[in-house]
A and B are shown apart, each in its own frame.
Chain A
């Protein structure tokens, strides 16, 4: 291939799989690169005839093959039956008559000089895990770091990431939830001040840069293909990642073939543990970085709380708990099992302090409100399990309302408790489960925390 190409087009497109008609470049530029074969086109939806006139569709962007997630309609553009993928539609519709493009020529070359300016010191457990991860990566084996909440998981990744960057490799740190990405971004920018870093999540500003280190929600990985020399998946067990096979495939597709995918989590699922024990390696950390134990939950009854809230009354115990927090000026999180109950309760909490407010997965002001809690502009938040992980607020106190509900399984409760006592300055705090009956999950969570505090590892 001797024809010249535009290096900004290469830098943008390398490792991505993009809609031909929606690039940041003029269509003529893209067309020219297709003509010179620097860019390859791929049909958006692959439809294959099976026996008995059945057709099976496959989305070449998100690799969805669940047939119920495809819709065929009479298309006015291509004048015929046209099939589109509903699974990745939020990123621009992919249909039979849309084309995807990938870079088909020399890859970009990334710099080898990267500063790591993190001033902290790893604990011996952290250092061991970090070394083990580097070793696994060199051997191209997947690695799982199973570390209690507050063990300092991100810091463990700094050295392994730095090693890869200085070898000119492209690295991705992915997490299923946007909150986790938002929390990671400033920390990584501080740790790697000279490295081109881009954070990608629904609603992030798009640039035409081609960063060497990419932070992304797993959803955003639909738009990448054979891009990374290593992917670290943080909070690997978090919904919806475990729930969705397509997201798992998206991570695989975003990595170059044969490259390892590493996982980091506080509550690995049995499936992930089994898989990693078989095909890769596992490091466990059962101590928080400040050496203090995980807070053990205490139980307190809150009989018929849903009925009381529905009738417009907050149970007295809950009022007392809030009033104590307000008086001591301790930030707090109160977890609910449904949005509906939480929204019924919100005005009642506002009577105690008008600044208390609620967030949930699709709340438009979620990010602003979490930030307001961090900035101490509001005393506390009501939340669904969406905030069970990834957020760190010094001295935060946590209550679960209705901990007997199914949503609050062992993992969720361990994660929720993990919000408490994370900072060395405030290593303890209240973690109360208000319930209408004690469940196995509550006891299992408590036992797990006791076990971890005694020095046990995940089984």
Chain B
């Protein structure tokens, strides 16, 4: 018996063979809350990023979710998308969450991307460092790409060739992900993909 993380209703449990064998991953939200989120499954291909997958559309339910998770600091809500993230990321390559600036992390008290991945039970490597805290709001795309790199490889880290998957919550213009992908490719990654929870509409 467990309660829905969002509305606190008891989630009705339907026993299945998979469930009994512990193969079925438990849902952390009830069907009613779950259906308020709309799947997007947008896939893009590009040159720097070989593939970008977005899991959900940005709607009212998602806005509220991100508000409570990030702004109200409800860490427990990292579990809301555990099942989907697990299914998307398991065995797909080396998972690299987009890092937060250390000061920002202390302010929020947790790194939200790390928590999402921990809840989804996928292992990840924190191999990137955020280099500064420039807010990206009003610059043009060229200005943004021309800026000095937003990320750097953590000191002393080396990369093996292979597929790397960047994970972030919001895909806005792609600049953040591009910057991170460039760092990884320069360090030897053969393929860099990205998975984001949502894509901001413009």
Q: A residues touching B (Cβ–Cβ < 8 Å)?
A: 68, 71, 73-77, 82, 84, 86, 89-90, 92-93, 95, 97, 364
Complex CA distance for A77 and B75, rounded to whole angstroms? 14
CA distance A319 to B192 in the complex (A): 59
A89 near B106 (CB under 8 angstroms)? no
B111 to chain A, nearest CB (A): 7
- Given A86-B74, A89-B68, A93-B74, residue A68 in contact with residue B110 (CB < 8 A): no
- Cα A95 to Cα B68 in complex, Å, equals 15
Query: In the complex, which residues of chain B have a beta carbon less than 8 angstroms from the beta carbon of A92?
Result: 72
Q: Are B110 and A73 in contact (CB under 8 A)?
A: yes
Minimum Cβ distance to chain B for residue A418 (Å) = 28
Q: Which chain A positions have C-beta within 8 A of B3?
A: 68
Max chain B Cβ within 10 angstroms of own Cβ: one of A75, A76, A84: A76
Q: Are the C-beta atoms of B109 and A71 separated by less than 8 Å?
A: no
Interface residues of B (CB under 8 A from A): 3, 60, 68, 72-76, 105-111, 115
- Report whether B76 and A75 are in contact in the complex, using a CB–CB cutoff of 8 Å: no
CB-defined A-B contacts under 8 Å, sample of 10: A68-B3, A71-B76, A73-B75, A73-B109, A73-B110, A74-B110, A82-B109, A84-B75, A86-B74, A89-B73
Contact call A93/B110, Cβ cutoff below 8 A: no
Could you tell me if B109 and A76 are in contact, using CB atoms closer than 8 angstroms?
Answer: yes
Partner of B111, one of A71, A76, A89: A76
14 extra interface residue pairs, beta carbon distance < 8 Å, beyond A68-B3, A73-B110, A76-B110: A71-B76, A74-B110, A76-B105, A76-B108, A77-B106, A82-B109, A84-B75, A86-B74, A86-B76, A89-B68, A90-B72, A93-B73, A97-B109, A364-B60
Contacts A68-B3, A76-B105 given: A89-B110 contact, CB under 8 Å? no
- Residues in B with CB closer than 8 Å to A97 are 109
Q: Are B109 and A75 in contact (CB under 8 A)?
A: yes
The interface residues of chain A, by DSSP majority, are classed as mixed
**B residues in contact with A95, CB < 8 Å:** 109
A77 to B103, CA, bound (A): 10
| A28, chain B: closest CB distance, angstroms | 20
The 6 A-B pairs with the shortest beta carbon distances in the complex, nearest first, are A71-B76, A73-B75, A77-B109, A93-B73, A76-B105, A75-B109
Contacts of A73 in B (CB 8 A): 75-76, 109-110, 115
- Distance in angstroms between the alpha carbons of A73 and B108 in the assembled complex: 12
Chain B residue nearest to A91 in the complex (CB): B72
Query: Nearest chain B CB to A362's CB is how many angstroms away?
Result: 9
Cα distance, A89 to B76, chains bound together (Å): 11
Taking CB atoms, residues of chain A closer than 8 Å to B108 are: 76
Contacts of A76 in B (CB 8 A): 105-106, 108-111
Contacts of A86 in B (CB 8 A): 74, 76
> CB distance A89 to B109 under 8 Å?
no
Smallest beta-carbon distance A20→chain B, Å = 15
Q: Bound state CA distance, A93 and B73, in angstroms? A: 7
Instruction: Specify the chain A residue showing the minimal Cβ separation from B32.
Output: A340
Q: Provided the pairs A74-B110, A76-B105, A76-B108 are in contact, do residues A89 and B75 lie with their beta carbons within 8 angstroms? A: no
Instruction: Closest A residue to B108 by CB, please name it.
Output: A76
Find chain B residues with CB under 8 A from A89 CB: 68, 72-74
Q: Is the CB of B110 within 8 A of A71?
A: no
B74's closest neighbor in chain A, by CB?
Answer: A89
Considering the chains assembled together, what is the distance between the CA atoms of A71 and B28 in angstroms?
14
Indicate if the CB atoms of A71 and B75 lie closer than 8 Å. yes
How far is B68's CA from A92's CA once the two chains are assembled, in angstroms? Answer: 10
A76-B111 Cα distance, complex, nearest whole Å: 8
A92 to B72, CA, bound (A): 6
B62 to chain A, nearest CB (A): 15
Q: How far is the CB of B29 from chain A (nearest CB, A)?
A: 14
Cα(A424)–Cα(B107), bound, Å: 58
Which residues of B are found within 8 Å of A75, using beta-carbon distances?
109-110
**Which of chain A's residues have a CB closer than 8 A to the CB of B106?**
76-77
Give A448 to B111 CA distance when docked, in angstroms: 57
How far does the Cβ of A318 sit from chain B's closest Cβ, in whole Å? 26
In angstroms, how far is the closest chain B Cβ from the Cβ of A78? 8
Of listed B72, B107, B108, B111, residue having the most chain A CB within 10 A: B72
- Assembly CA distance A95 to B74 (angstroms): 11
CA distance A90 to B3 in the complex (A): 18
Tell me the bound Cα distance from A82 to B107 in angstroms. 14
The docked-state distance in angstroms from the alpha carbon of A435 to that of B200 is 45
Q: How many angstroms from the CA of A84 to the CA of B73 in the assembled complex?
A: 10
Complex Cα gap A2–B25 (Å): 63
Whole-angstrom CA separation of A247 from B187 in the bound complex: 56
Chain A residues lying within 8 Å of B75, measured Cβ to Cβ, are: 71, 73, 84
* Distance of A196 Cα from B76 Cα, bound (Å): 40
Complex Cα spacing A116 to B72, Å: 42
Q: Residues of A contacting B74 with CB < 8 Å?
A: 71, 86, 89, 93
Which residue in chain B gives the minimum CB-CB distance to A340?
B32
| Contact between chains at A93 and B105 (CB < 8 Å) | no
**A contact residues around B72 at 8 Å (CB):** 89-90, 92-93
Closest CB in chain B relative to A90 CB, distance in Å: 7
